[in-house]
């Protein structure tokens, strides 16, 4: 055990850290994956999935600082889908991709995430319609729109609105109703639908 502590101490000294106070510490595995951040005047360091904050004399294990941007995710993250959006989860921390910054951002877990998140990507919203009766391109576009309108009216689900415009607890069922109605409508107008 003392040998491991000496090895870890030497590894930290090579990157300028002279002592550590931590409630949970896994130690560095390699120099890759290190990330330093400065936010609100505080210095943070991400290594091995753990966040550390400079405590003036020691590095202290802390929770991830909300709002910090990262160029990459920890290598063992899990994608969790919430209301159709991907969140990336690693070591009790949620991240999202920020298009404006072209980086990942540490965020608070979405409200209710613990009870309804899923690691399954949402089903595709794309249907492939094949005209069986020689419908013109204009007729195909009109039929697509009319069947969309009928499906929205009958199911209450609108895929052009965030979350389908329905409560999260009924979104999956309403989405299925929407697509079943839309497929039936298109088939009744002479299309094969996949």
Residues linked to residue 59 through DSSP beta bridges, in sequence order: 20, 54
Q: Long-range contacts for 85-88 (Cβ within 8 Å, ≥24 apart)? A: 86/121, 87/113, 87/117
Instruction: Using alpha carbons, select from 148, 140, 155 the residue that is nearest to residue 189.
Output: 140
Q: Return the structure tokens found at 94.
A: 């949620």
Domain residue ranges of the chain, discontinuous segments joined by +: 2-62, 69-116, 129-193
Question: Reduced to 3 DSSP states, what percent helix, strand and coil does the chain have, rounded to the nearest 5?
Answer: 30, 25, 40
Q: Which residues contact 14 (CB under 8 A, 6 or more apart)?
A: none
pLDDT in tens, the chain (194 residues): 455 555 555 555 555 554 444 333 334 433 344 566 666 677 787 877 778 887 777 778 888 888 888 888 876 778 887 777 888 888 888 898 888 888 889 998 888 766 444 545 455 667 888 999 999 989 998 999 899 999 999 999 888 777 788 888 888 888 889 989 999 999 999 999 88
Give yes or no for a contact between 84 and 122, defined as CB atoms under 8 angstroms apart: yes
pLDDT at residue 36, as a whole number: 62
Residues linked to residue 193 through DSSP beta bridges, in sequence order: 129
Residues linked to residue 54 through DSSP beta bridges, in sequence order: 59
Rounded to an integer, what distance in angstroms lies between the CA atom of residue 151 and that of residue 157? 8
pLDDT at residue 20, as a whole number: 44
Q: Return the structure tokens found at 153.
A: 């009216």
Taking each helix axis from N to C terminus, what angle separates 171-188 and 137-155, rounded to the nearest 10 degrees?
A: 140
pLDDT at residue 171, as a whole number: 82
Q: How many CB atoms sit inside 10 A of residue 182's CB?
A: 23
């Amino acid at each position: 055990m003392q040998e491991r502590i000496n090895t870890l101490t030497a590894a930290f000294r090579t990157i300028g850290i002279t002592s550590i106070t931590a409630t949970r510490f896994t130690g560095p595995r390699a120099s890759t994956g290190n990330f330093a951040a400065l936010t609100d005047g505080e210095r943070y360091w991400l290594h091995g999935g753990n966040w550390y904050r400079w405590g003036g004399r020691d590095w202290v294990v802390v929770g991830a600082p909300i709002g910090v941007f990262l160029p990459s995710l920890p290598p063992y993250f899990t994608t969790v889908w919430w209301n159709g959006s991907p969140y990336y989860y690693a070591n009790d921390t949620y991240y999202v991709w920020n298009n404006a910054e072209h980086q990942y951002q540490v965020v608070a877990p979405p409200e209710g995430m613990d009870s309804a998140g899923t690691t399954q990507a949402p089903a595709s919203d794309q249907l492939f319609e094949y005209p069986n009766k020689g419908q013109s391109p204009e007729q195909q576009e009109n039929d697509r729109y009319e069947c969309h309108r009928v499906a929205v009216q009958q199911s209450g689900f609108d895929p052009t609105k965030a979350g389908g415009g329905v409560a999260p607890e009924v979104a999956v069922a309403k989405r299925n109703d929407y697509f079943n109605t839309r497929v039936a409508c298109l088939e009744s107008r002479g299309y094969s639908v996949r």
